[in-house]
Structure 1
Amino acid sequence: MYRNVLCLVLGLVIGIRLTDLFDYLRLTDSRDYALTQAPAATPQVHTETKTETEADIAAWLFNETRVLCLVLTIPQWHHSKAAKVKNTWGSRCNKLIFLSSEEDKELGAIDVGVPEDRKNLYAKVRAGFAYAYKHHGEDYDWFLKADDDTFIIMENLRYFLYPYDPEAALYFGHKFHTDFPQGYMSGGAGYVLSRDALRRLNLFALNNTRFCPVNTLSEDRQIGKCLRNVGVVAGDSRDEEGQERFLPLSPKHLVPHFPTTGWLSGLVFYKPTETCCSTTAISYHYVKDFEFEIYEYLLYRLRVFGIPVPQRTLPMRLPQQQLQRQLEIWSKEKTTNHKKG
């Protein structure tokens, strides 16, 4: 009797174990089949909803929003102003090229074939944009022109540019008013062209004196006219509070209030806000040699204990229809204090 009971128990145990084994094998086979039939996993991509630090976003933007920097300089400043740019903000460009009348491979300067003279700045910038398009026109998303006494906060520039399609015909900077409605961008504050803007400038403007006259007038205004004549829109780079991001002066001349007198007050396209300037500022002009290291220290090394730093996430890219509407608005806007001349 005990033997029969023992055999019955052993049979039940063995049966249960065999059932578990069969189930395991069936599940394993099903999983393996599913894995072999499933589509290949897509690589992880960056999304605006992913939680990341600002450092992570800035590092990712370096390759996502690629900027070629063109910096005007002259031979006598290769080892002073230009070297300061290269060792500070210029090191954060995706590619840095100095436009000079003398080649300097160590610095990264090219000879654009234009004699050094203030009246030749326009010709020099034309030659620089032609060089950039010929050698790098499809390699980068945006093309920044700056002077060697300008300081650019490249991380803020990329963050600002990210929502905009580089294949849209537009450019950004500090907008001045003139006799054509959409205005032009200050050369000293620096301005940045989209890939399509650079393409249009080279294919349709620089080789057509009707669209882009050759003269010795101010570089920034003439480039603005050339771009306007080939359908490039002068965009608005101000922040959500209407404060300027591209600044044609250094902070000591701007803070706490934007100047209401002097040459700058007579050129601004948008009415200045009561306080200056944007907390996401991109550029400052008239930076002295010794100030480059000061900017570098204050912006990239100094940390204030107890001051909270709000975490930012990437803005959404503008859909094509919304971008097109925005371009139409910018192309038609006029300054409230527009003056002809």
Structure 2
Amino acid sequence: MLSESSSFMKGVLLGGIFCVVVTLLGHVKIGHGTRARHHEHHHIQAPNKEEVLNLSEDERLELSQSIRVYCIVLVKPKDIGHWAAVRETWSKHCDKAEFYSSENVKVFNAVVLNTNDMWTMMRKAYKITYERYKDEFNWFFLAYPTTFAIIENLKYFLLKKDPAQPFYIGHTMKSGDLEYVDGEGGIVLSIESLRRLSRVFEDSDKCPEQGGMIWKLSEDKQLAVCLKYTGVIAENAEDSEGKDVFNTKSVNALIKEAMASRPEQVVDGCCSDMAITFNGLSPNHMHVMMYGVYRLRPYGHTYSDALVFLPPAGSDND
């Protein structure tokens, strides 16, 4: 009886110690030491129409041609339906798009990573991307197979951003003291951010391949930890009115939320007119989005856009 009581008390004591450790870790600052830091999160806005119109025609042409986006789509065999939909829809609008697969799939071409772990997949994809394309592209967009992206809106958002600066952009979230870009809305790295990331990959203390905590961080959080060591901070992307442009939900879900909370302004309250991504789409919905974004046009309406982002040479995109 005494032995059982002793074992019980040991269990209670160990459980209490574990809870204390977890609580303390939740307050530890990840990155440069554990001292208190100021809020580093920024809200980066897209240029407004007047800013673009003030540019000369030659400047507009040069800018539209200089922004080149390489798209990374992380896939697994179970994503085969989404994989096909992404290949046939929005990815055609990237300057180059490649699928990075956990394993070989005979029906589609992909860069095979030979791992099912999402963080390892992401690490390998970024490492290969940097080695192959560091001199060819200046912006790198990573998405999951359930994401739909409007690449022209991404290019417009990046219009006056300098890829030589360490930008890390998307829909930001907070977990404890860690600010990170939610992978479900898509992740954008400048070439400078990717360069710093590729360098910190070599430091297993700062950027471990398997993570170094009691619990396993999601891949987007682990990416934020590694980037923070290099001085790259998560930046929330918004349009000129302050609305998010990287969405972690589908249009359908956002409209339902707007109908419940702002029924008098469902369209205006739902989403930005310059939205870049939506997530959680089925393959069929991706084709519907493709029709709505690139095919359907209300007769008599003109948008007088100051810039045109032409598709890559030889592309069969819409």
> TM-score, normalised on structure 1?
0.66
Per the TM alignment, residue 153 of structure 1 is displaced from its structure 2 partner at its CA by 0.1
Match in the other structure for 2:191: 195
Rounded to whole Å, the distance in 2 between the matches of 1:66 and 1:105 is 29
Aligned partners of 1:81 and 1:148 also within 8 Å: yes
Alpha-carbon shift at residue 276 of structure 1 (Å)? 2.6
Determine the structure 2 residue equivalent to 1:3.
Answer: none
Greater C-alpha Rg: 1
> 1:211 corresponds to which letter in structure 2?
K
Inter-partner Cα distance in structure 2 for 1:289 and 1:126: 26
Q: Map 1:30-49 to 2 at 5 A.
A: 48-49=55-56
Aligned 8 A contact 1:86 1:107 in 2: no
Matched, 1:303 2:288: no
Partner in structure 2 of residue 222 of structure 1: 222
Q: Deviations over 1:103-135 (max 9, x none)?
A: 458733111121x2xxx1111101110110111
- What is the root-mean-square deviation of aligned Cα atoms in Å? 2.8
Query: Which structure shows the higher strand fraction?
Result: 2
**Paired residue for 2:177?**
180
- Of structures 1 and 2, the one with the larger relative CO (CA 8 A, separation 6+) is 2
Map of 1:282 onto structure 2: 276
8 A contact 1:256–1:275 mirrored in 2: no
CA displacement at 1:83 relative to structure 2 = 1.5
**Quick check: 1:96–1:108 contact (8 Å CA) kept in 2?**
no
Does the CA contact (< 8 Å) of 1:243 and 1:276 recur in 2? no
Cα distance in 1 for partners of 2:280, 2:90 equals 15
Structure 1 171/258 Cα, relative in aligned 2: closer, same or farther at 3 Å?
A: farther
**Counterpart of 1:102?**
103
Flag the 1:106–1:197 CA change in 2: closer, same or farther, 3 A: farther
Name the CA distance, whole Å, in 1 between partners of 2:73 and 2:239: 25
| Paired letter, 1:250 | S
The structural deviation recorded for 1:255 is 1.9
Which segments of structure 1 move beyond 4 Å, counting only runs of 4 or more? 256-261
Q: Map 1:102-251; keep pairs closer than 5 Å.
A: 102-103=103-104, 107-114=108-115, 116=116, 120-180=117-177, 183-203=179-199, 205-213=200-208, 214-215=210-211, 216-251=216-251
Identity %: 32
Whether the aligned pair in 2 keeps the contact of 1:69 and 1:97 (CA below 8 Å) is yes
Separation (CA, whole Å) in 1 of partners of 2:142 and 2:198:
15
What secondary structure, in the 3-state scheme, does the structure 1 residue paired with 2:70 have?
A: strand
The aligned residue for residue 66 of structure 1 is 68
Deviations 1:137-182 (A, max 9, x none): 221111111001100000000111121111101111001012336x
Structure 2 gaps, min length 5: 1-53, 262-267, 309-318
Number of residue pairs matched?
245
Query: Contact 2:71–2:142 (CA<8 Å) still a contact in 1?
Result: yes
Quickly say closer, same or farther: Cα 1:257–1:51, change in 2 above 3 A.
Answer: farther
Q: Measure the CA separation in 1 of the matches of 2:164 and 2:259.
A: 36
What stretches of structure 1 of length at least 5 have no aligned partner?
1-46, 262-273, 315-341
Q: CA shift at 1:257, angstroms?
A: 4.5
Once residues 258 and 222 of structure 2 are traced to their aligned partners in structure 1, the CA distance between those partners, rounded to angstroms, is: 26
